[in-house]
Amino acid sequence: MLQRIAYFGPAGTFTEAAALKYAPQGQLLPFPSIAAAAEAVSAGQADEGVVPIENSLEGSVTDTLDLLIHGSDLQIRRELVIPIEHCLLVRPGTGQEDIRVIYSHPQALGQCRGFLGHRFPQASLVPAMSTAAAAERLQQEPKGAAAIGNLRAAELYGMQVLARSIQDNAGNATRFVALGPTDSPPTGDDKTSLCFSFAEDRPGLLYAALGEFARRGINLLKVESRPTKQSLGQYIFLLDLAGHRTDAMAAQAVEALRRQVAMLKMFGSYPRYREGNGGGSAR
């Protein structure tokens, strides 16, 4: 039976490329939003869902973080990283001098900010649901429009590539995660993601919380915060730490942290992505 993989679509997005890398023999099911892809997994329409979580230029994908914090009990099963090459797409026959409006996903527009400011300072930048949706929209637009997308989107929607590699950094890459009902068993080279918040705000709270990991020699790979969405100035802290949640030291640190905080939610433990390990499905 084919593994069913929900992804943030439609076809032609970078998330589709990540899903193909993750499960090349799987049945790929596109959904119009990150939340919809996750809901498909929760509802049993898909076995796992692939969504973006972090970009090397623009930082975290807040829709995915908010989903993990507030909107879903799905766990992270895997992570994978793919390079991101953005292209400027137009309807055939459109020249640079014709472009008055440029469509793309907000993350893509942000990743190409320098190029757009230099080459198209007067153009209107219009957000789209995805890079592929932006390319598809060009089919109904006059020739004064362009989109930022990838080469597959250009092929799928019959667009001409006016410029390649327009991202602000040649090393642009996005980290994706595969979400499922459970996380992954230990491999010996793992990562654990979680979030927590405090009931009050006073000096030293965060210092003491993070110290639980330092005292046990656990490396924190990422620390950031998100608003609680309840009150201005209140935050939820997100951690990525080296190791599996079942490792003795990690389990001790998490339990000690739990006693200090008002809320703690595990997002799961999963194999740490290493270049060359493929990031493929564990199934």
Q: Is the pLDDT of residue 65 over 50?
A: yes
Name the catalytic one among 14, 174, 196, 237.
174
Question: Residue 11 pLDDT > 50, yes or no?
Answer: yes
Q: What is the pLDDT of residues 228-267, one digit of tens each?
A: 888 888 899 999 999 999 999 999 999 999 999 999 999 9
Identify the three-state secondary structure at position 39. helix
Could you confirm whether 176 is annotated as catalytic? yes
15 carries an active-site annotation: no
Judge whether residue 1 has pLDDT over 80: no
Q: Which one from 31, 176, 196, 213 is the annotated catalytic residue?
A: 176
- Report the C-alpha gap between 52 and 54 in whole angstroms: 6
Q: Above 60 in pLDDT, residue 54? A: yes
Q: What is the pLDDT of residues 152-172, one digit of tens each?
A: 999 999 999 999 999 999 899
State pLDDT tens for residues 115-163.
Answer: 999 999 999 999 999 999 999 999 888 789 999 999 999 999 999 999 9
- What percent of the chain stands above pLDDT 70? 97
Residue of 156, 131, 173 whose CA lies nearest to 279: 173
Q: Is the pTM of this model over 0.85?
A: yes
Superfamily for the 87-163 domain: Periplasmic binding protein-like II (3.40.190.10)
* Superfamily grouping for domain 190-271: ACT domain (3.30.70.260)
Every domain range in the chain assigned CATH 3.30.70.260 = 190-271
CB under 8 A, 24+ apart: contacts of 248-252: 249/216, 249/217, 249/218, 250/192, 250/216, 250/218, 252/216
- pLDDT at residue 83 tops 50: yes
Phi and psi at 241, nearest 5°, equal -125, 150
Within the chain, which residue ranges are assigned CATH 3.40.190.10? 4-83+172-180, 87-163
CATH topology of domain 4-83+172-180: D-Maltodextrin-Binding Protein; domain 2 (3.40.190)
